[in-house]
Structure 1
Amino acid sequence: NPQHQSPLFNKLPGELRNEIFKWMLVPYDDPDPEKHYSEDSYWYRPGFEASKKVECALLQTCKLIYCESRRAVMREAEHPFWFGASRGPPGRAGTADCIRFFTRGLSNENVEDLTSVHFFTQMYWIEDGSNLAKIFRLRNFRPKRLTITFRYSDWWYWESNEDLRMSEEWLARFDGPPGLKELCVEYETLAWKKSQLDAIVARNKDWKLAVQDGNHLSAADTKLEEWKWNGPSKLAGQTWGHHGDSDTVEYVVVVDRW
């Protein structure tokens, strides 16, 4: 049924309908209080205050709307995964959960429409590059954009307030999946440790990263971005002496793009 009687189809051009459908299918924070993350959890931060939900009622309206809009669901979603023991919400925490997502249930169309994936990873998981390589070799792992976030609590021995350090091996061994167009890396730490962070960011920026399709990603001409946020000084219910006496601490995040 071409729906000629509907102004949505006989008045609006397809390009405009696609924009409407896209915005209606953007994931948003689930309003269910049970889906909200605890503010002192390791995975709570701006943009990740709750699990995401997509309002799929639009897809059930009629077959024509379904045919025109269904692919926006995958294209508009960012698919996050957390790596490290007890460092992410259930179902999205650990290598096994990530591999399961990309090896079960994704159609060829889903793989083609996959746009954005987000990794939150502790240093031990990423530094030697082997875990990244394992995921990059998955046949269905074909995002156009990958974001990797190093949270304050991902750095080596942050609990003991050690100086920031990061091996470059994961960058040296980086071999991105075919079709990867952008790598975004977010570096986060306490605001008063920013000088340590800046040194690592500047060093990493010089790396040219390989992609399996023969292309390379470079950060040589990209500008750094920076933002700050205040979070609870407790993490997972524990108090940390080097966080001071305040109920909150200030985090700084530096963002680089290849």
Structure 2
Amino acid sequence: MNAITKLEGKTCKYIGIAFSEHEALGKYNDQTSSPLFSVLPRELRDLIWALATAPYEDPNAKFEKTAYYYRPGHTARLRTEVALLLTCRRVWLEANALPMLQAEQSFYYFRGAPDGRDPEWMARLTKHNSQNLGELHLLIQMGTMEKLADPTWSLRDYFLKNRPVRGDLQPRVFRLTIRHTDWWSWENDAPLRLQDNWVKALLDAPELRSTPILKLDLETLDYKADQLAVIVDRIKMIESESRPSHYVGNSPTMTRFELVDKQDTSTWEGPTNIDDRVRHAYDGKATLTYHVVTLTWNLRFTELPHASVPGLRRASVSLSPDKDPFAVDKDWGRAEGELRFWYAAILPRRREPRMTEWTEGMKQHHFMLRFWTQVRWVSRRQAELGEAVRRRQFEELCGAAREREWAARWEAEKSLLKFIGHRVP
């Protein structure tokens, strides 16, 4: 446990960093003696920062060409250099968001690359990194993707397993790729088949209503291009529903995904021994030529077609407490449920046929004994909860004093650290 985590535990507050020049005003050197800041305009500096922090394929971490995950853009581990951010505070304040904004975070279901992400990695992202999530890339088998058509499944379930938090999944670009080895029965060279309902669910996913661009890659072999063309034409006919998701002024407005007219088509070549295994379906072929079709949708306002979606406020969803996925469970509710269970388990016994007066008296005695035992348990549990609440209030009072002490210290030291919100114990 580091010092920051310990201090968060004592103050009951999260600790963050001032990420903008406006927040950190007076806490950094303007670097006016450097022509990089005094001569070059901010637009050119942003281009320099972007080039210096752009992701690239590490030449020292190449993937095997026969691996399932080997394809253009994924021939080696993706790497991002962040040494630039350590030069000075002025550079850090201007460029700290760029590594996440430009990075591609790839999730594999299944047969993933060594640099693939997982829900545990996603859950560890800070609020700042979640807000600057660039491209979220999902490479997934057809059977697993079809789960999205199930009403009990959501797009969020592929990336996060913890309790939903507003804003924890809002990438700038969401890309979904169905590779040649992700189609049904690809090993037997079976004809291509794709269900439309999961594509419809993807276009209507509420998790993507803060994502400006949605891309769908469909990859197959060149001699199946005609089969893929039929599927692509069918997907183009699927329309996104209009849903209220953003505020324009003080009123919620409708958004929907609109298909870009021009589709992108590309090809690439790979070996026939996928996963170092000989496939009889490829006998006589020296290489495999892959055919890839990419469909792109842009998020648009239904009534304001030329408006830009990014940067606007999300519409808040009003739900009753029993249906709100963000509501916190109450211990008292669980205790009350257990008490109802005892009532249901014991009361029916009183309706059994009367045998003898003594037997009936014993039954009533056992019933009252169990009933009052449960009542005492509920009372004790309620007292424990009350004690926990009082202890928590005391800790918050002590934490508030520590918070003021450390805030004054950081202000005197011109530190970029700050307390950013209440921490749930």
Same fold (TM over 0.5): yes
Equivalent-residue separation in structure 1 for 2:102 and 2:270 (angstroms): 28
Q: CA deviation at 1:217?
A: 0.8
The match for 2:108 among 71, 82, 89 is: 82
SS of structure 1 residue aligned to 2:274: coil
Q: CA deviation at 1:3?
A: 1.1
The match for 2:63 among 34, 37, 41 is: 37
Residue pairs, 1:58-137, within 5 angstroms:
58-84=84-110, 87-90=111-114, 92=116, 97-104=117-124, 106-129=125-148, 130=153, 132-135=155-158
Range 206-215 or range 114-123, more displaced: 206-215
Match of 1:256 in 2: 295
Match of 1:185 in 2: 216
What one-letter code is carried by the residue in structure 2 that aligns with 1:134?
A: D
The match for 1:230 among 246, 260, 269 is: 269
Match of 2:43 in 1: 15
SS of structure 2 residue aligned to 1:16: helix
* Mapped contact 1:163–1:196 kept (Cα < 8 A): yes
Equivalent-residue separation in structure 2 for 1:27 and 1:91 (angstroms): 13
The match for 1:142 among 155, 162, 170 is: 170
Residue segments in structure 1 that go unaligned for 5+ positions in a row: none
RMSD over aligned Cα atoms:
1.8
Equivalent-residue separation in structure 1 for 2:33 and 2:266 (angstroms): 49
Q: CA deviation at 1:226?
A: 0.7
Q: CA deviation at 1:151?
A: 0.6
SS of structure 2 residue aligned to 1:196: helix
Per-residue deviation, residues 220-255 of structure 1 (Å, max 9, x unmatched)? x52111111110111111011111323311111011
What one-letter code is carried by the residue in structure 2 that aligns with 1:200?
A: I
Range 157-166 or range 108-117, more displaced: 108-117
* Mapped contact 2:156–2:169 kept (Cα < 8 A): no
SS of structure 2 residue aligned to 1:46: coil
SS of structure 2 residue aligned to 1:26: coil
Match of 2:187 in 1: 159
Q: Percent identity?
A: 31
* Mapped contact 2:53–2:99 kept (Cα < 8 A): yes
Match of 1:209 in 2: 240
Equivalent-residue separation in structure 2 for 1:125 and 1:131 (angstroms): 12
What one-letter code is carried by the residue in structure 2 that aligns with 1:75?
A: L
Range 120-129 or range 165-174, more displaced: 165-174
Q: If the length of structure 1 is used for normalisation, what is the TM-score?
A: 0.90
Q: CA deviation at 1:119?
A: 0.9
Cα distance change, pair 141–194 in 1 and its aligned pair in 2 (3 A): same
Range 173-182 or range 35-44, more displaced: 173-182
* Mapped contact 2:118–2:159 kept (Cα < 8 A): no
What one-letter code is carried by the residue in structure 2 that aligns with 1:191?
A: D
* Mapped contact 1:126–1:132 kept (Cα < 8 A): no
* Mapped contact 1:234–1:247 kept (Cα < 8 A): no
Higher helix residue share:
2
Equivalent-residue separation in structure 1 for 2:257 and 2:287 (angstroms): 37
Which of structure 1's runs of 4+ aligned residues deviate more than 6 A? none
* Mapped contact 1:37–1:44 kept (Cα < 8 A): yes
Match of 1:242 in 2: 281
Range 151-160 or range 141-150, more displaced: 141-150
What one-letter code is carried by the residue in structure 2 that aligns with 1:54?
A: T
Range 51-60 or range 131-140, more displaced: 131-140
Instruction: Kindly indicate whether structure 1 or structure 2 has the higher relative contact order, using CA contacts under 8 Å at least 6 residues apart.
Output: 2
* Mapped contact 2:106–2:136 kept (Cα < 8 A): yes
* Mapped contact 2:119–2:159 kept (Cα < 8 A): no
Q: From the CA coordinates, give the structure whose radius of gyration is larger.
A: 2
Equivalent-residue separation in structure 1 for 2:83 and 2:173 (angstroms): 27
Match of 2:82 in 1: 56
* Mapped contact 1:231–1:249 kept (Cα < 8 A): yes
Per-residue deviation, residues 111-145 of structure 1 (Å, max 9, x unmatched)? 22112111111001101313625247854111121
Q: CA deviation at 1:101?
A: 2.4
Paired positions, count: 248
* Mapped contact 2:78–2:115 kept (Cα < 8 A): no
Q: CA deviation at 1:207?
A: 1.4
